Structure 1
């Protein structure tokens, strides 16, 4: 048995390791077209590697995948977050859970995960070839012929594809050549560019612990921490929103309006009552010196300036009209988004191999026997928080079993 695993990322390494463990006698070769392996693992989570998530309920876990929930349920029945934790701990890598349920190696260093995977590939004597990616794959009666540049080729009985997502549809043409349908890719997990809002962007680095962000004119809404950057808005709330709205936002060419609720209080009547109580309690204080809802100082100053409110006004003297304007700014602060920013090293796509053409109990192609898929090459993506890596570990592990 000769097995080729194409793609040296998280899913590819895990598939190759799984394959060798389940089929000790197999000759397993792991191909990576670049000179670097596990690049996304290295940079993810700010260099700490968000391995998985501490969300224990399977149904809750699956709710974090805009695409692939139903299919991944089958795969997670074979290898899930608990299995991931146990696997890494069996290799001497202890993981920790943070308050937001993200899980990292206790070392807070992604190199720990990179070294673990590379060491396991070396220990199992898996042949790792870098700067070596096939330019085409042909299925035949005995398996597959992989063709490389300089007219080189190699034969394998099984192939596992784990090449990751592609930003362009033509990047999947070689998959189409194998007879598979591909859902055209669009970016997922990106930040919102807001040109022309210099005063907003002057607050670069400001973080709001709990905000609500809504795409105007749609039902798309997410909440969570929000971050102001030098190009606009980012943070978990925006990244989650970009994932769930990936196709809708691509259709409008990333030109749309967002409404930001800076307080996280979703009910206007509740917010109004809380603000009234605050105003009564701070009646003789200037609005510039007493801010409600524990808002960051810079944000409060920014909102007051945006509304052109007199900062020397005391809370008891705010006119009803100004109070209504303030409430609207806190609940429905509006911005025009024109474009997006994605981080090349952590690029995630919505799109890929059509899920209907893959058996998620084995990750085998329903069209081509002995051809398996793993990772972001599939039309599966999760929100930020370790969910994309869990999909990579699970699909890689199951694919490596080769239908066993």
Structure 2
């Protein structure tokens, strides 16, 4: 069994790492100043990110999340051609800073929506929406979760998608619709029911709804642990008799679960590797702080309790990374369905690991840790949210448990 990084993987990882060192980390303070300068009118495009994006695209560090596919070899809509395993190492580097992924046009929910359009979209849908998304000209949102039902069971979703002649009419209420606050958000992927009488997993469909379609209203932007996540944000959205052409339906009626599985598998790899990058950031912050402070006559880093926490953090990061890379490798080799147990395991393990390390980093910073000065509160909010996003821990643990039971009882 070979655990070494291939020459190709090292090449792409190091290119991303070097680009971040040269162009992204030095602009972190500029990013925060520009957001602060917006004042109350905060939902704006951040200029420094657009400047960095132009440099990344010029260097070919663009759309790296989109894996190669023989089905689309002749397709004009393509990314850098990295496998899930190749890209996983790049995602870890991006995860160290919250706005880095967008600089490479590799940020959620656009990545998932582009994968949906790439795999399941018609030629017309790709031309209208995938092309500008791949170009970084527009952004998108994914509308699945609803406030009125337990959306961890997607069969509960109540939004209605009803055929009416040459159109579909959509009614429902969504929330935590990430990306809706961005002024560049022009298209949404909406999940709802086209046939409530069909078998349980054939009731759902997905449809493209352009932002600004009559009847689509942003009710409010939802903060997460007090962070509004400008300029992307998470919105509660009302869909009141929203009418779109029948050609906006993705793949066909009753194919919503199929599309969701194709969308969420790679996305969970991306999220988990970015989370490992976040944990690396927290550990680095913790070590620097402990080394710079003196208490009871010696540096805090020399206290035995902190040696223990640093060691446990390194062990946790390294073993979680191996787990995620194994899942990415399996997905490349046998597909999402066969790798579903491994994907479920990492979705539980990665955010829990990161939360422990971020919490210790906050403790190491004392009062400063719970302020916004060191980036740890935002990191904690991101990691904690991930225990719910793309499915809560309980659902993924259920998948793992059932797989284990099948091993013993068939």
User: What TM-score does the superposition give when structure 1 sets the normalisation length?
Assistant: 0.24
Q: Which has the higher contact order (CA 8 A, sep 6+)?
A: 1
Structure having the larger proportion of residues in helix: 2
User: What TM-score does the superposition give when structure 2 sets the normalisation length?
Assistant: 0.24
Larger radius of gyration: 1
